[in-house]
Amino acid sequence: MNPALSYRQAFNTILKRDLKIALRHRDDIVNPLLFFIIVITLFAISVGAMPNVLMTIAPGVIWVAALLSTLLSLERLFKNDYQDGSLEQLLLSPCPVFILVLAKIVAHWLVTSLPLILLAPLLAMMMNLHPDGYLALFLTLLLGTPILSLLGAIGVALTVALKKGGVLLSLLILPLYIPVLILATAAVEAATMNSPYQGHLAIIAALFFASLITAPFAVGAALKVSTN
Amino acid sequence: MWKWLHPYANPEVAYQFTGKLIPWFNGIAFILLSIGLFLGLAYSPADYQQGETVRIFYIHVPAAILSMGLYFAMAIAGLSALVWQLKLAHAAIAAIAPVGAAFTAIALITGAAWGKPMWGTWWIWDARLTSELILLFLYFGVIALGNAFEDKSQGAKAVSVLALVGVVNLPIIHYSVEWWNTLHQGATVTKFAAPSMAMSMYIPFVICFFGCAFLAGSLICKRFQGQVLARNSLRPWVKQLALAEDN
Amino acid sequence: MAFESFTDFITMGKHGFYIWLSYGSALIILLVMGFNSFRQPKIQLDKIRQRMHREQQLKAYQQKKAEQRSQSHSGEAV
DSSP string, A88-111: HHHHHSSS-HHHHHHHHHHHHIII
CB nearest B173 (choices: A171, A179, A228): A179
Q: How confident is residue B247, by pLDDT bands cut at 50, 70 and 90?
A: low
Give the domain range for residue C65. 25-75
Predicted confidence band of residue B211 (pLDDT cuts 50, 70, 90): very high
CA-angle at A65, arms to A217 and A193, nearest 5°: 100
pLDDT of A27-46, one tens digit each? Answer: 888 888 899 899 988 988 88
At residue B106 the predicted structure's pLDDT band, cuts being 50, 70 and 90, is: very high
Binary contact (C49, B245; C-beta < 8 A): yes
Distance CA B73, CA B70 (A): 5
With the C-alpha atoms ordered A6, A7, A10, A15, is the resulting torsion angle positive or negative? negative
Average pLDDT, stretch A56-78?
A: 88
Residue B48: is its pLDDT beyond 70? no
Q: Tell me what the pLDDT averaged over chain A comes to.
A: 87
Give the rounded percent of residues in chain C with a pLDDT score beyond 90: 18
Neighbours of A34 (CB within 10 A): 11
Give the percent of chain B with pLDDT over 70: 87
* Residue A30 to residue A115: CA distance in whole angstroms: 9
Q: Is residue C60 part of a domain?
A: yes
Tell me the average pLDDT of chain C.
82
Concatenated DSSP letters of chain B: -HHHHGGGGSHHHHHHHHHHHHHHHHHHHHHHHHHHHHIIIIISPPBTTTBGGGGGHHHHHHHHHHHHHHHHHHHHHHHHHHHS--HHHHHHHHHHHHHHHHHHHHHHHHHHHHHHHHHSSS----HHHHHHHHHHHHHHHHHHHHHH-SSHHHHHHHHHHHHHHHHHHHHHHHHHHHHHHHHHH-SPPPTT--SS--HHHHHHHHHHHHHHHHHHHHHHHHHHHHHHHHHTTTSHHHHHHHHHHH-
Residue B96: which pLDDT band, with cuts at 50, 70 and 90? very high
Q: Please report the pLDDT score of residue C77 as a whole number.
A: 55
Q: So what's the pLDDT on residue B2?
A: 62
The overall average pLDDT reported for chain B is 83
| Mean per-residue pLDDT, B184-191 | 48
Return the pLDDT at B186. 46
A221/B137 Cβ within 8 A: no
Mean pLDDT along residues A65-82:
87
- Summarize the confidence of residues B71-92 as an average pLDDT: 89
Mean pLDDT, range A182-195, rounded to an integer:
87
Domain contains C10: no
Instruction: State whether residue A190 sits within 8 Å of chain B by CB.
Output: no
Which residues in B lie closer than 8 A to residue C9 (C-beta atoms)?
Answer: 41-42
Q: CA-to-CA distance for B148 and C55, rounded, in angstroms? A: 26
pLDDT value of position B187: 42
Higher pLDDT, A178 or B197: A178
Instruction: Average the pLDDT over C54-77 and give the result.
Output: 83
CA B182 vs CA A186, A187, B60, C42: distances in Å: 12, 15, 22, 49
Which range (A71-80, B44-53, B96-105, C43-52) has the least confidence? B44-53
- pLDDT band at residue C78 using 50, 70 and 90 as cut-offs: low
Q: Which residues contact A208 (CB under 8 A, 6 or more apart)?
A: A143, A144, A146, A147
In this complex, whether B and A touch, counting 3 or more CB pairs under 8 angstroms, is yes
Averaging pLDDT over each range in B114-123, B170-179, B205-214, which range is the top one? B205-214
* Of the partner residues B145, B161, B176, the one whose CB lies closest to the CB of residue A179: B176
CA distance B110 to C13: 18
B229, C43 contact by CB (below 8 A): no
pLDDT tens-digit profile of A139-158?
A: 999 999 999 999 999 999 99
Query: Do the chains contact at C49 and B242, CB–CB below 8 Å?
Result: yes
Contact yes or no, C with B (3+ CB pairs under 8 Å): yes
Query: How do the domains of chain B map onto residue ranges?
Result: 55-186+205-246
Using the beta-carbon criterion (under 8 Å), do A154 and B161 form an inter-chain contact? yes
For residue B98, list chain C residues with Cβ-Cβ distance below 8 A. 33, 36-37
Query: Taking a C-beta distance cutoff of 8 angstroms, is the pair A113, A70 a contact?
Result: yes
C16 pLDDT exceeds 80? no
**Per-residue pLDDT at B188 exceeds 50:** no
| Residue C52 maps to a domain | yes
Domain tally, chain C: 1
Contact between B110 and C45 using a beta-carbon 8 Å cutoff: no
The per-residue pLDDT for A3 is 56
Asked, for residue C51, whether it belongs to a domain, the answer is yes
